[in-house]
Structure 1
Amino acid sequence: MIFGGALALSAAAPLALLPHATRAADGALGLDNLTFTLGGTIYRIPHLEMKGASLPAQDVLALFTGDTKNIEERLARFTAKSVVIPTLSTERKVGDATERASWRDLVVDGVAGGRIAALRAAGAEQTVERPAGEATRYVWGASQARGVDLRQLVHVANAVRLDPQEALKPMIEEESVDSLAIADKDARMTMKTGRLVMTGVKARALLTPPSQLFERIGRLDPDKTEADPTLLKDLIEALASFDVGAIEARDIVATGKGEPADKPYTISAGRFAASRIAGAGVGDVALDNFSLQSSDGGRIAFTRFGLRDAKLASLLDAPIPQLSHIELKGLDADLPDGRISETSRMKFNITDVEANFADFREIAPTKLSARLDRLAIDLAARGEAPSTAQFLALGYRALDLSAALAGEWREKTQEAVFAPLRVEGRDMGAATLKVTFGNVSGAVFSSMALVSKAAALAASVKSVELTLEGGGLIDRLLALEAKQQKGGVEKARAEYAKGADLAVAAVLGGGDKAKKIADAVSAYIMKPRKLMVRLASEKGINAFDALARKPAELLEGMEVEAAAER
């Protein structure tokens, strides 16, 4: 909630300053000197005016000062045409920090049965102060909310959930803020946003009181997580106590002091959105038109980053959350690379990359697919870097790569199949690999590392098929070799073909199956159109077989196919 709970949270407990009620000639009810505490937060309302109240003055006053035990019941009987609050301030301690906030010109329209039809505020300011003068300041623009259920707000703030199956109930239909500005003195950072919107908020009481969670978060030391080992579990449970239909923020811009200090960094995003937030998970997340301009002159930008079906509860067993989809579109990067030289740059862009994960078993997916469309790397911009020198020598000023991956575990046959694993390079060629593993039990997906590693060692390779297409890279290698040796390309090609024949024989032996592979490889070098090599073993070869036997011995026990397009 941005500010929608401010009035509801006023239905609180212990009286600190003596309040009083007055009735105006037009029947309007005025309440003064309201101070109360809820969930560790102190609320102060110097004055409010209420019209069309359904309860007597003393009963209305009791909403703010009475015992919280029956507050939900009293709110259920509360009806008013309008409530006007010129100022409302709050204060609370979180760890060693003090948070203070002040709302201006709150106007409530249509309270019926403890439910607000509409709520507006002209704006708000909040500060978070820490020892040694550190401070963060928030300035909220005009705010609006509708469909605010005071009873549910108070229930969530006050109660501790006793029933594990307690249902989530509607709390806020929609809430929005026209703008937000943040200035962090300690981090030397400022941020501004355009409109913020949140819709469809449901909630239930937490198992751990919110005030205790805030205190524990305030004391958290990232370098000593063992000091509160259950905090992550409790935070995830708290998140699971809220459902939100959608959250959206637009026109986000942050600037700050980097290194060097006189060159600030800038981060911007056109839109951030999240929807179907439930059960400590998020159905969809999108970040559009993102850009980072760093202090060292680097820049990285993308048109879209997205996630789908992210489950934060999986963080209890794995280092990253479980999700079904991730994508990145229109990435463009230009970064300095001082390790090479002052002028060296890392320039690259990606047209599209995405990955899909399905049918999770414990912490890992049993089905996945991924693709990378056009990773373009500017080799010339890096200068004389060792990693790019060979490609530059071959005449590549840039690399343009695409890739694809698909895999599936088949429980019925206890097989894991990866098909295809494909990499394609512009003016290079393409390589496609298909691999089938046998004896793959469900234990390989265990969250226990010892169990999953043992299961992986028990698996065996049943078949491997490699296909090479095109010969752009081979042709350039041969041209470079010919240039260095001051000979002809065809002579270099023949020598490479002969060398490949000898290399295969040295590794795989001189048997008929090894010779079939060697002949195919040599023929592909002579005419690099298409090469296919397939190795298969009905029994399979596991890690222990690979360690105990020589490659030539393993090959003799396998089916071998090898052919080159001539």
Structure 2
Amino acid sequence: MTIMQELRHRKAVLARLVFLGLVAAAALAPLAPRAGESDIVLDNLTFTVGATTYRIPHLELKGASLSAIDLADLFKGDAKAVDGRLARLSAKSLRIPALTSETRAGGVVERSAYRDIDAADVVAGRIAILRAAGAEQTVEKPDGGAQHYLWGASVAKGIDLRQLAYLALATRLDSQEATKPVVDEESVEQLIIEDKAGRMTTTIGRLAVTGVKGRALPFPLPQLRDRLAKFDADKAEADPALLKDVIDAAASFDVASLDIREIAATGKGAPAESPYTVKIGRIAAAGVANGAVGSLALEDLSLVASDGGRLALKRFGLRDARLASLVESPFPQVGHIEAKGLDGDLPDARLGESARMKFSLAGAEADFADFREIAPTKLSGRMDQLAIDLASRGEAPSTAQFLALGYRTLDLSASLAGEWREKTQEAVFAPLRVEGKDMGAATLNVTFGGVSAAVFSPMAIVSRAALLASSLTSAELTLDGGALVERVLALESKTEKKPVDKLRADYAKTAAAAVAVVFGGGEKARKIADAVAAYVMKPKRLHVRLVSEKGVNALDAMARRPGDILESMEVEAVAER
């Protein structure tokens, strides 16, 4: 995120420099010995705007439509007056071979140098094309930290100076103000960032952005920059509204598409001789408008840590994400999120020097729809083949039992779906399914009744009360396969030196007795107990279904015994024999 912020910041600075060059040329035009009626040539310009001093050794402006006096007053007055002058501004070309600037504010010193700035076909305040051969920038902070930026060649097309001036001078009063075009497209061939304090170097192969639109910020931009400069992550409570205001600022700009390729960061780790590296093949975004992101994709991520840990991700993506929900809602509003091709190999010092945490994930995705207040009313998700290498964990207690059962890898998949039905006031979760390779699968379907819209209230006391008022009306559990049961019995047989058939009968009897004790030993409890015992004897498929016409709510669960609740329900329990 920081890299993208810097790129957007640099684009705005470059556009402002064009403005300042025009202002300086107009103000000093009477002194230029080579100036003609529509051509202006100036040498050795120095001028200060606010906390920034600019130096331009040479400037050429050809075919200017405004007089020297009009150009001198180009940015005087309010946003409306400036817009009127820019609407009359046209020129064939602007050329600045070199430009430097220095800004001193709040103890921060920023120095920049641009090379070969060329603008062509300025018509009614709109630049058809703007090129720069490159730029270099250093930022020195009071704490001794310093950053160095090296920008490659850049090209921008369709720059609307009128809208840029408006964004710089105005403050938004109308919350419904529409965004207007700022830049049609822009590309930067390379960016190198060196952070001396963090001992990190970041490179970007290429950046391209299209369809940039903007509207005035709801607060002065310098004010926001000062707050960001003073922000301390360890003292975030000093400016609790900063994150919200940053999101508001981001929501003031639309971007049709953003494409960043070949990102690599290298830094000094601990120990220093073991650097860490982060690489991203591509970051792409599209449909960024009104504080929402239509789509975002991150591809070919790899991380090599200083301690030898490795992490790789083929793709991460999301769609229809609303930025404001990050601070306004306990459930971020995202339509779709996915991750594919995750592989990890990390050291685990807690278990010893040789212990590793190796895992992989074929894919995971989730969809959320029909948001109401704070949460979606419809969702679905799945996780495919989360594989954990148990052997690499060493003698970890959490994996010892699985290793004893013969599992070298724990391979799990899962899926879920849920929906709130407003018409019937029901919340249905079906199915919730977990499947383990060489283990079996469990599927759970649950329905809650009396679920009102109040459960989505942003007021916690209201939503909690609504949840307590809802009731469980049905629950259905199905177990398919019994590979795990068979392995447990085989291990127990080997350990206890008892026949498997004898152990199976003992386990079936014990399981039936446990169910009967938990649920009170009534007729319906015995029905479930018999089905469980039959499943242990022949672990192929177990199906248990509970239905309550009136429903069971939280008060019932606290006030009544489990056996009494079970006996008041319709019960179905069957084991495939």
TM range (shorter): over 0.9
Residue in structure 2 matched with residue 11 of structure 1 by the alignment:
19
1:4–1:119 CA contact under 8 A, matched in 2: no
Further displaced range: 153-162 or 423-432? 153-162
Aligned pair in 2 of structure 1 residues 42, 157: CA closer, same or farther (>3 Å)? farther
Residue in structure 2 matched with residue 292 of structure 1 by the alignment:
303
Residue in structure 2 matched with residue 37 of structure 1 by the alignment:
49
Aligned pair in 2 of structure 1 residues 317, 56: CA closer, same or farther (>3 Å)? closer
Structure 2 residue 466 is the aligned partner of structure 1 residue 455:
yes
Any stretches of 5+ residues in structure 2 without a counterpart? 1-7
The alpha-carbon deviation at position 95 of structure 1 amounts to: 4.4
2:331–2:374 CA contact under 8 A, matched in 1: no
What CA distance in whole angstroms lies between the structure 2 residues aligned with 1:424 and 1:140? Answer: 51
The alpha-carbon deviation at position 99 of structure 1 amounts to: 2.6
Structure 2 residue 373 is the aligned partner of structure 1 residue 362:
yes
1:254–1:267 CA contact under 8 A, matched in 2: yes
2:25–2:42 CA contact under 8 A, matched in 1: no
What CA distance in whole angstroms lies between the structure 1 residues aligned with 2:140 and 2:458? Answer: 41
Aligned residue pairs: how many?
A: 564
Aligned pair in 2 of structure 1 residues 422, 459: CA closer, same or farther (>3 Å)? same
Q: In the alignment, residue 498 of structure 1 is paired with which amino acid?
A: K
Aligned pair in 2 of structure 1 residues 305, 177: CA closer, same or farther (>3 Å)? same
1:333–1:347 CA contact under 8 A, matched in 2: yes
Structure 2 residue 112 is the aligned partner of structure 1 residue 104:
no
C-alpha distance after superposition, 1:178-201 (max 9, x if no partner):
000000001111000111011100
The alpha-carbon deviation at position 141 of structure 1 amounts to: 0.3
What CA distance in whole angstroms lies between the structure 2 residues aligned with 1:286 and 1:376? Answer: 24
C-alpha distance after superposition, 1:502-554 (max 9, x if no partner):
11111112221111101111111111111000111111111111111111111
Residue in structure 1 matched with residue 532 of structure 2 by the alignment:
521
What CA distance in whole angstroms lies between the structure 1 residues aligned with 2:104 and 2:176? Answer: 31
Residue in structure 1 matched with residue 241 of structure 2 by the alignment:
230
Aligned pair in 2 of structure 1 residues 73, 133: CA closer, same or farther (>3 Å)? same
What CA distance in whole angstroms lies between the structure 2 residues aligned with 1:43 and 1:304? Answer: 44
C-alpha distance after superposition, 1:327-373 (max 9, x if no partner):
00000000001111110100010001001111111111111101001
Residue in structure 1 matched with residue 521 of structure 2 by the alignment:
510
Q: How does 1:14-413 map to 2 (within 5 A)?
A: 19-21=27-29, 22=32, 23-24=34-35, 28-32=39-43, 33=45, 35-37=47-49, 42-63=53-74, 66-67=76-77, 70-93=81-104, 95-318=106-329, 321-413=332-424
Q: In the alignment, residue 6 of structure 1 is paired with which amino acid?
A: L
Aligned pair in 2 of structure 1 residues 423, 310: CA closer, same or farther (>3 Å)? same
What CA distance in whole angstroms lies between the structure 1 residues aligned with 2:194 and 2:361? Answer: 34
1:405–1:420 CA contact under 8 A, matched in 2: yes
Aligned pair in 2 of structure 1 residues 444, 42: CA closer, same or farther (>3 Å)? farther
2:299–2:316 CA contact under 8 A, matched in 1: yes
1:95–1:216 CA contact under 8 A, matched in 2: no
What CA distance in whole angstroms lies between the structure 1 residues aligned with 2:278 and 2:565? Answer: 56
Structure 2 counterpart SS, 1:258:
coil
Q: In the alignment, residue 47 of structure 2 is paired with which amino acid?
A: T
Structure 2 residue 561 is the aligned partner of structure 1 residue 550:
yes
What CA distance in whole angstroms lies between the structure 1 residues aligned with 2:550 and 2:509? Answer: 34
The alpha-carbon deviation at position 320 of structure 1 amounts to: 5.9
Structure 1 counterpart SS, 2:233:
coil
Residue in structure 2 matched with residue 439 of structure 1 by the alignment:
450
Structure 2 counterpart SS, 1:339:
helix
Structure 2 residue 480 is the aligned partner of structure 1 residue 472:
no
Structure 2 residue 438 is the aligned partner of structure 1 residue 427:
yes
TM-score (norm 1): 0.95
Any stretches of 5+ residues in structure 1 without a counterpart? none
Residue in structure 2 matched with residue 485 of structure 1 by the alignment:
496
The alpha-carbon deviation at position 237 of structure 1 amounts to: 2.1
2:25–2:40 CA contact under 8 A, matched in 1: no
What CA distance in whole angstroms lies between the structure 2 residues aligned with 1:535 and 1:300? Answer: 44
Structure 2 counterpart SS, 1:132:
coil
Which protein, 1 or 2, shows the higher relative CO under an 8 Å CA cutoff with sep ≥ 6?
Answer: 1
C-alpha distance after superposition, 1:38-80 (max 9, x if no partner):
7x6554434310112122233334436x446522211111111
Structure 1 counterpart SS, 2:351:
coil
C-alpha distance after superposition, 1:224-269 (max 9, x if no partner):
3332233333222222211111111100000111222221100001
Aligned pair in 2 of structure 1 residues 44, 448: CA closer, same or farther (>3 Å)? farther
The alpha-carbon deviation at position 222 of structure 1 amounts to: 2.3
Q: In the alignment, residue 372 of structure 1 is paired with which amino acid?
A: M
Aligned pair in 2 of structure 1 residues 96, 16: CA closer, same or farther (>3 Å)? farther
Q: In the alignment, residue 339 of structure 2 is paired with which amino acid?
A: L
What CA distance in whole angstroms lies between the structure 1 residues aligned with 2:465 and 2:381? Answer: 27
1:4–1:175 CA contact under 8 A, matched in 2: no
2:27–2:69 CA contact under 8 A, matched in 1: no
The alpha-carbon deviation at position 487 of structure 1 amounts to: 1.4
Structure 2 counterpart SS, 1:63:
coil
What CA distance in whole angstroms lies between the structure 2 residues aligned with 1:353 and 1:163? Answer: 41
The alpha-carbon deviation at position 13 of structure 1 amounts to: 12
1:13–1:36 CA contact under 8 A, matched in 2: no
What CA distance in whole angstroms lies between the structure 1 residues aligned with 2:458 and 2:359? Answer: 36
Q: In the alignment, residue 148 of structure 2 is paired with which amino acid?
A: R
Q: In the alignment, residue 287 of structure 2 is paired with which amino acid?
A: R
Structure 2 counterpart SS, 1:263:
coil
The alpha-carbon deviation at position 213 of structure 1 amounts to: 0.7
What CA distance in whole angstroms lies between the structure 1 residues aligned with 2:21 and 2:423? Answer: 61
Aligned pair in 2 of structure 1 residues 159, 27: CA closer, same or farther (>3 Å)? closer
Aligned pair in 2 of structure 1 residues 95, 552: CA closer, same or farther (>3 Å)? farther
Structure 2 counterpart SS, 1:366:
strand
C-alpha distance after superposition, 1:438-491 (max 9, x if no partner):
111112122222222222222211111000000100000000111111011111
Identity %: 61
Aligned pair in 2 of structure 1 residues 335, 355: CA closer, same or farther (>3 Å)? same
Further displaced range: 486-495 or 367-376? 486-495
Aligned pair in 2 of structure 1 residues 161, 90: CA closer, same or farther (>3 Å)? farther
Structure 1 counterpart SS, 2:197:
coil
2:418–2:430 CA contact under 8 A, matched in 1: yes
The alpha-carbon deviation at position 25 of structure 1 amounts to: 6.6
Q: In the alignment, residue 3 of structure 1 is paired with which amino acid?
A: K
What CA distance in whole angstroms lies between the structure 1 residues aligned with 2:52 and 2:473? Answer: 64
